[in-house]
Structure formats: structure tokens, C-alpha cells
Copies of this chain bind each other. A is one copy, B any other.
Amino acid sequence: MAQLARLTEQGFIDLVASLAAPARRSRRGAAFRPILGIGDDAAVLPPTGRLRLLMTTDLLTEGVHFRTAYAPGFLLGRKALAVNLSDIAAMGGLPRAFVFSVGFPRGTRPDYAAAVARGLADQARRHGVQMAGGDTCAARALFLNVALLGVVEPGREVRRSGARPGDGLYVTGRLGGSAAGLRLLRRGARPGRTGLSPHAAAAIRAHLDPAPRALAGRLLGATGLARAMIDLSDGLAQDLPRLCAASGAGAVVEESAVPVAPAATAVLGRGPGLRASLVGGEDYELLFAARPEHELQIRRLALRMRLPMSRIGQVVPRRQGVRLLTRTGRYLPFEDLRGGFRHFRAGA
């Protein structure tokens, strides 16, 4: 790691740890300050009492999930934690502590590595999660792995399996922005460059710097409004069938009810924008099912949070499959969209 000389492996870990230390009075992380942080064989964290533990891990790899050519180190560090925070949110949990591993290629510039550390630490502070350890190593391609621990009240974890026929299907936020941003990045657009339209900038931000729906997931879980939930990492066309399979149910989604991100429409055009909202992936919004009688409460929660929660369709018996009702009144099986997903990604 010749280029990393000034930022040694231990230096990287220490940098994340020092920057990620929460403010003395953290709203959410206060109760979970580590008893012993980094520097020993393992971190020591306080007992969870009666709370259940949640554990998840996600890996970002150069050339597969991102390219250093277009992903600033700071945003890469933030995203590595964000995708894990999104998983804990989708369980209705509260994130608590994480460990990371980073592999740096020999040519990595120290300022890029330092930016990754700052991004990780920034996201940790925002969400009140503790940095509990790290490992770094030389690697042939840059990768960044995070394992995140969370907690949830017993029985309040929101699984994928709780959806029942008759339930409404909802998504938070708007979809397709991330896919539109990826398209722009692959065509040479860069974040922060002057001359980007507001829509282009929003799309790029959606892709490089997704905001995990931590509070929404927590509230949807704690209130019991979400009976089943999943985060949209691979896109509606893949993640809705997963939720349905786990629940032993089918679904009908109304194409006209899917909330397409304005940036997706502006960047890609109306048709491809809609397509991106179905098959694009990496939006990290939440998809959840709720009893029909909770419709009003969900509207109120959305208003209070100033976060769109769109009813996109409903859960149906399994034998009806998972289908999209198009604007022209046709029913398309979601499997057929997945083919389109691969096509779309290849062309993006």
C-alpha cells in the first residue's frame, strides 16, 4: 500500500473511530455508547436487556457496485453504511453498532481513503451508531464491507412474511432516481460538476448517496402499521416477489400508482422513467404491507413525516401471482419485468 503510506491501516481505523464518536448528548445513540471501543481484541457493548438483536451485512465492490471514477470516497463511505441501515430500517429496528472491513488497492490515494473514512464516520454520527471495530487490507479492487447490529422490541421485528390478501401495498419516497443517476454517471456526468440540471443532480445524489429510511422504518415497525416490509435494494420487480414469496401471497400493483421520481422522468423520459421505477434498483425506499383499516393512519404518518407513502396496490391470494396492472388495463406478470430489468441494466 505504497500510496497509503501516510494513512496506515491502523490509521484508517483510528480515523473512522475518532470521527464517528457521537456527540456527548446523542439523541439516539446515548444508551449504546460502547463500554470498550476499538483497540482491544473485540469491542464491548452494553447488554440489550429484553431487546432482540438484529444483524446484517452488505458489501460494496469496485467494478460491481460502484466505480471509483465516479464515486467520491466520502459518498462511498456513507453508502456502505447506508445500505446496511436500510436493512435494519426494513426490520423496524434501531441501528446500534457496526464493524467494517476495507480492501484498498495499492494505488489508492491517501486522500481518497481518508474521504471514505470521513463518509463512514459521518453516516455513523447521523444515525447514532457506534463504530465497534474495523479491519483493512491491501486488495486488488477496492471493497468496503459493513456488518451492522441493531435492536428491536420482542415481536416488533417486521418480517417479509407478514403480508396477507387484502393488505394495502405501500412504498416510501419515489422510485427510479437511482437508476437515472447511474445512467448519467456511466455517461460521464460527475457529482458536484457545474452545469448539471437540478434533476440530474438529484438523480446522481439518489444513486451515490441514498438516504436510508431509518425513522420511517422504525415508526412503521413500532406502531405495528407495517405487517411485512422489505427495502428496495434490487427494485420493485425483484423485491416485491420476494416479499410475496415469504408471505405466501400474490400482489397486484397499479402502474399508475407507482411514484416515479421526477428526476427519473426528467433524465430518462416518461416511459423509461417508469421502467426505472419498477426495475431500476438501489432506491433504498421501503416497501410494506398494511391492513386496509390502517390506510388513514399511514396517511397521517406520511404527512407528519413529510415523506410520501404511496399505496401502489394490494396483496392478493398466491394463486393470482404477482402482477402489474398497466395503464392500458393489461396484467403483466412481474417475472416478465425482471427480464426487462436485466435488459435495462445492461443498457444503462
Chain A residues close to B by CB (< 8 Å): 35-36, 39-59, 61, 63-65, 86-88, 90-91, 93, 97, 99-101, 103, 132-141, 143, 145, 147-150, 152, 154, 157, 159-161, 229-231, 246
A150 contact from B42, B137, B231, Cβ within 8 A:
B42
A47 contact from B45, B46, B51, B101, Cβ within 8 A:
B51
A-B contact pairs, 24 of them (CB 8 A): A36-B159, A40-B91, A41-B230, A42-B88, A44-B91, A44-B157, A45-B54, A47-B48, A47-B49, A48-B49, A49-B49, A49-B50, A53-B53, A53-B149, A55-B97, A57-B99, A57-B101, A57-B134, A59-B101, A61-B138, A63-B138, A64-B139, A99-B147, A103-B143
Question: Which residues from chain B contact A135 at a C-beta distance below 8 Å?
Answer: 57-59, 145
CA distance A148 to B133 in the complex (A): 11
Q: Decide if the interface of chain A is mainly helix, strand, loop or mixed.
A: strand
Given contacts A61-B103, A149-B149, 17 further A-B contacts (CB under 8 A): A40-B159, A40-B161, A42-B93, A43-B54, A43-B55, A45-B55, A53-B149, A56-B99, A57-B99, A57-B147, A58-B101, A58-B135, A59-B101, A59-B103, A59-B135, A137-B143, A139-B140
CA distance A153 to B137 in the complex (A): 32
Establish whether residues B91 and A42, one from each chain, have CB atoms under 8 Å apart when the complex forms: yes
Question: Which residues from chain B contact A48 at a C-beta distance below 8 Å?
Answer: 47-49, 53
Establish whether residues A157 and B36, one from each chain, have CB atoms under 8 Å apart when the complex forms: yes
Give the shortest distance, in Å, between A324 (CB) and chain B (any CB): 23
Give the number of times this chain occurs in the complex, counting copies: 2
Question: Which residues from chain B contact A152 at a C-beta distance below 8 Å?
Answer: 44
Establish whether residues B40 and A246, one from each chain, have CB atoms under 8 Å apart when the complex forms: yes
Question: Which residues from chain B contact A55 at a C-beta distance below 8 Å?
Answer: 42-43, 45, 97, 99, 132-133, 149
CA distance A134 to B145 in the complex (A): 11
CA distance A139 to B154 in the complex (A): 38
Give the shortest distance, in Å, between A294 (CB) and chain B (any CB): 21
A64 contact from B61, B134, B137, Cβ within 8 A:
B137
Question: Which residues from chain B contact A148 at a C-beta distance below 8 Å?
Answer: 42
Establish whether residues A59 and B137, one from each chain, have CB atoms under 8 Å apart when the complex forms: yes
Establish whether residues B133 and A56, one from each chain, have CB atoms under 8 Å apart when the complex forms: yes
Question: Which residues from chain B contact A53 at a C-beta distance below 8 Å?
Answer: 44-48, 53, 97, 149
Give the shortest distance, in Å, between A282 (CB) and chain B (any CB): 15
A143 contact from B54, B63, B139, Cβ within 8 A:
B139
Give the shortest distance, in Å, between A312 (CB) and chain B (any CB): 19
Give the shortest distance, in Å, between A317 (CB) and chain B (any CB): 22
Give the shortest distance, in Å, between A99 (CB) and chain B (any CB): 4
Question: Which residues from chain B contact A41 at a C-beta distance below 8 Å?
Answer: 56, 86-88, 90-91, 160, 229-231
Give the shortest distance, in Å, between A116 (CB) and chain B (any CB): 15
A56 nearest in chain B by CB position: B42
CA distance A202 to B290 in the complex (A): 59
Establish whether residues B61 and A139, one from each chain, have CB atoms under 8 Å apart when the complex forms: yes
Give the shortest distance, in Å, between A164 (CB) and chain B (any CB): 17
